Amino acid sequence: MRIDKKIIFSEIEQIKPNTILLSCPDGYLTKVQQLASKIEKDYNIQTIISADPTYGCCDIMDDDASRLGTDIAFHIGHNSAIKRIGKRTVLIDVYEDVDFTKVIKESLSSLKKYNQLGICTISQYLHQLGKTKKTLEEAGFKICIGEGQERLLDGQIMGCRFGPAFNIRDKIDALVFLGQSRFHAIGVALSTGRPTIMLDPYLTIAEDVTPLAEKWLKRSILQLYNARDAERFGVIIGLREGQNLFKRAVQVRMRLLDYGKEVQMITPREITEDRLSMFTNIDGFIQTACPRISIDGENFSKPILSIPQIETLFRIWDGNNLGDFLEKPLWV
């Protein structure tokens, strides 16, 4: 993997900070430690590494950087069309240069039943889209890559943002996801409602994740029906900077009150079963932080609904059917 160090060094030379903060997903921590040592040696700058896990572009550390008194924070590993977030945070690309050629060849037999394919991936493999498109076209497929929108680049998806994949779903028979992340591939399948094949270049496996997506959808529906008769709800407000949807949480609270429900507002730093189990008077929870916690996170003893799920529960209470509540480009 390659970190785009040029941007970091350019920012350092321009701003001349005294202290910087580095954050990254756990898998990049070793490389980031090496980078921190190089920065301190070459620029004589105090460099702090965040030991907290980083889950995405929504999980920045701008406020933490302010409290630490750092001049700039580099968020490494989550690319975006927006390069700066907050007052101090700069997003830094990471590139995985693994070769997809072999796994594409392995996938041809399973892909041959489709004619028109869409391609999408996460930030680390975006630079592989062009080569993959060419290889699949040479194999006889028609290929479509969705245009970027808002913070997403062409063909890019994030944990709860699927616009480039969703917007081409009516033009394709199936989607090909580049990478090893079932988490993201299953999200694509749920969002688009299309068969989704994950090309894992490390294990050289082409996996159809559609059956797993169907299983996750059934679990999400079960949560809805388990929450249908609840009378006391806890509405969770996330404290992570990009997940603090306070106004949205207030809107949910008001809707619940309109339905005659009792509501408590809750704000944990980490949404876990251990923390929520202490709220013994609550029948079910709605969390406005990260939709993936509800859809594919850990198992909770009580229903914990995401924003798409609570909107669907409102429809059920109004006497309407479920609808395709996860088939949308954005889950927040």
Range of the domain at 233: 215-317
Length of the chain, in residues: 332
Both 200 and 242 in one domain: the answer is no
Does residue 242 have a pLDDT over 70?
Answer: no
Which of 160, 188, 208 finishes a domain?
208
Q: What is the pLDDT of residue 151?
A: 82
Does residue 241 have a pLDDT over 70?
Answer: no
Q: Helix, strand, or coil here: 24?
A: coil
* Tokens read off for 66: 């302010």
Which of 159, 181, 208 finishes a domain?
208
Determine, yes or no, domain membership for 131: yes
Does residue 279 have a pLDDT over 90?
Answer: yes
Determine, yes or no, domain membership for 330: no
Q: Enter the pTM of the model.
A: 0.89
Instruction: Report strand pairing: 232-236 vs 284-287.
Output: parallel
Q: Helix, strand, or coil here: 232?
A: strand
Instruction: Tell me the average pLDDT across 103-107.
Output: 93
CATH number at residue 141: 3.40.50.11850
Least Cα distance to 145 among 163, 124, 123 occurs for: 163
Angle at 197 between CA 3 and CA 102, to 5 degrees: 60
Confidence of residue 197 (pLDDT cuts 50, 70, 90): very high
CB burial readout 121-151, b (16+ within 10 A) else e: bbbbbbebbeebbebbeeeebebbbbebbeb
Q: Helix, strand, or coil here: 128?
A: helix
Q: What is the pLDDT of residue 259?
A: 96
**How does pLDDT run across 126-143, given as a tens digit for each residue?**
999 999 999 999 999 999
Both 233 and 287 in one domain: the answer is yes
CATH number at residue 249: 3.40.50.11860
Instruction: Tell me the average pLDDT across 243-257.
Output: 89
Cα–Cα separations (whole angstroms), residue 246 to 171, 263, 266:
37, 15, 11
Distance of alpha carbon 174 from alpha carbon 210, whole angstroms: 10
Least Cα distance to 202 among 27, 18, 9, 324 occurs for: 27
Which of 60, 93, 126 finishes a domain?
93
174-178 β-sheet, strand order:
142-144, 116-121, 174-178, 196-200, 205-208
| 245 or 95, higher pLDDT | 95
Both 21 and 38 in one domain: the answer is yes
**How does pLDDT run across 208-228, given as a tens digit for each residue?**
999 999 999 998 999 999 999
Question: What is the C-alpha end-to-end distance of the chain, expressed in Å?
Answer: 31
Both 204 and 284 in one domain: the answer is no
Both 227 and 291 in one domain: the answer is yes
Both 109 and 204 in one domain: the answer is yes
Both 291 and 232 in one domain: the answer is yes
Does residue 297 have a pLDDT over 70?
Answer: no
Both 12 and 62 in one domain: the answer is yes
**How does pLDDT run across 11-47, given as a tens digit for each residue?**
999 999 999 999 998 889 999 999 999 999 999 999 9
DSSP string, 154-169: TTB--SSB-HHHHTTG
What are the residue ranges of helices labelled H in the chain? 5-15, 29-43, 62-68, 101-111, 129-138, 163-166, 182-192, 210-227, 246-258, 273-276, 291-296, 307-317
Task: Report the domain count for the chain.
Answer: 3
Across the chain, mean pLDDT equals 91
